[in-house]
Amino acid sequence: MHSALRPKPPVKIPPSLIPSTIDHPSQSLIRKSSTQQNDHHQKPIKITDDYRHTSLLLNHTTIARCCWSLGLRNSKGKYLTSESFGNKINATGTSLKRKQIWTIIYNFQNDCVYLQSSLNHYLSTDKYGRLKCDSNKLNDDCYFQLEYNRIGQWAFKSVTYHMYFGGDNDHLHCFSKSPEWWSPHLAVQSQINLKHVLRKRYAKLDDDEIHVDEIIPWGSDAIIAVEYLDDHYCIRSSNGFYAHKDGKLTTIKTNETLFTIELYKGYLTFKDCDQSYLTAIGPLGILTTRNKIAGKDEQFLLEESKLQICLVASNGKLVSIKQGIDLSANQYERDHSSIFQLEYDDDFHAYHIRTYDDKYWKIEGFNVQAIADKR
């Protein structure tokens, strides 16, 4: 199998980053088994509320907001923490756990962000620089502007009072006139799909490069790992090689394979050691760095990698649609036609099965064919 089947998590997974138009023909559903599966069938890191990168209406031109889940580490290496007792906040966390995970929500209308704790409360300040995080309602005191320095650290400036958020231990405040810097630590699972926002294409391994040219991320070549390393990030392809800023892949980590992250208009950007931003170049969409200023060409999304499987028939051959719309088991070689994507439907408690050419399985007469256009 290309990816092991997993049981549905006990917590609700956030909506898909690229919501599909959903139509529910009963013929195209595969019911989910009620049999519980062992833990060793699951991916190394589960998708829980600890990792949420969600957006509203992301596949439309009018977008309400874009959200990123991450931890924030101050200059002393301590994580911003939200305590459940008394709704207190401090900077005492030593590792990234649930209390240390915050959601950065970008507001497209006001070009600012607000910070939401794991308790769904918003961070706010008053004119005296006193901080609170005990309300799930937004007001003007919750809005901050993001600023960045050359080493990838972030500063949060109050939109209303023009002061910076900072401090240490239990003494957090928002009355600094100069930036106080925080290092972002993405709460991201180990395997993702990397999407270029402007091109609407996904990254995939292609020989010794990563190309951003895939409409649907399909197969292991489209699996990308974003690794956190000392306030920097490495982008690793499915063959274990690292993306170099010049567009090639390398087997070792160097300064040229390390990137810092920033948000531009709510989307993620990667900046290399020479202060140039990652983008996709040319008709092949070669992943490399070029411009010193971030723009639409430098915007990326990280999406949860979908469940994709191969099915082996009793004759030992792989089920595929290589011959057309009919499913048949007549090949030993694995290719795109023999890989299928499972998409769980919460309403029907069943799976839709998608093919590489964007069709869905459907019962037609006494046969199963890949002919459904929509789920």
**Which CATH architecture does the domain made up of 65-186 adopt?**
Trefoil (2.80)
* Helix H or strand E encompassing 351: strand 350-354
CATH number of 192-304: 2.80.10.50
Q: Are strands 350-354 and 340-345 parallel, antiparallel or unpaired?
A: antiparallel
| CB-count burial class (<10 Å; 0-12, 13-18, 19+) for 318 | buried
Phi-psi region of 77 (alpha: psi -120 to 50; beta: other; left: phi over 0): left
Rounded to whole angstroms, how far apart are CA atoms 364 and 27? 8
CATH fold for the domain made of 26-45+306-372: Trefoil (Acidic Fibroblast Growth Factor, subunit A) (2.80.10)
- Confidence tier at 367 by pLDDT (50, 70, 90): confident
Query: Same CATH topology for 65-186 and 192-304?
Result: yes
Q: How far is CA 176 from CA 75, 132, 162, 207, in A?
A: 15, 16, 9, 50
Identify the DSSP state of 99.
Answer: G
Which residues 6+ apart lie within 8 Å of 224 measured at CB? Answer: 191, 192, 193, 194, 203, 210, 235, 236, 237, 238
The domain spans of the chain are 26-45+306-372, 65-186, 192-304
Residue 228 pLDDT greater than 70, yes or no: yes
Which of the two residues, 210 and 365, has the higher pLDDT score?
210
Q: Is 177 helix (H, G, I), strand (E, B) or coil?
A: coil
Q: How far is CA 9 from the centre of its chain?
A: 17
Q: Residues 103-112: pLDDT tens digits?
A: 999 998 889 9
Amino acid at 161: Y
Q: Residues 129-182: pLDDT tens digits?
A: 999 999 999 999 999 999 999 999 999 999 999 999 999 999 999 999 999 999
353 neighbors 363 (Cβ within 8 angstroms): no
Tokens 């004119």 belong to: 127
**Exposure on the CB side of residue 310, measured as CA atoms within 13 A:** 18
Tokens 């991450």 belong to: 70
Q: Residue 142: what are its φ and ψ, rounded to 5°?
A: -90, -10
Rounded to whole angstroms, how far apart are CA atoms 318 and 340? 11
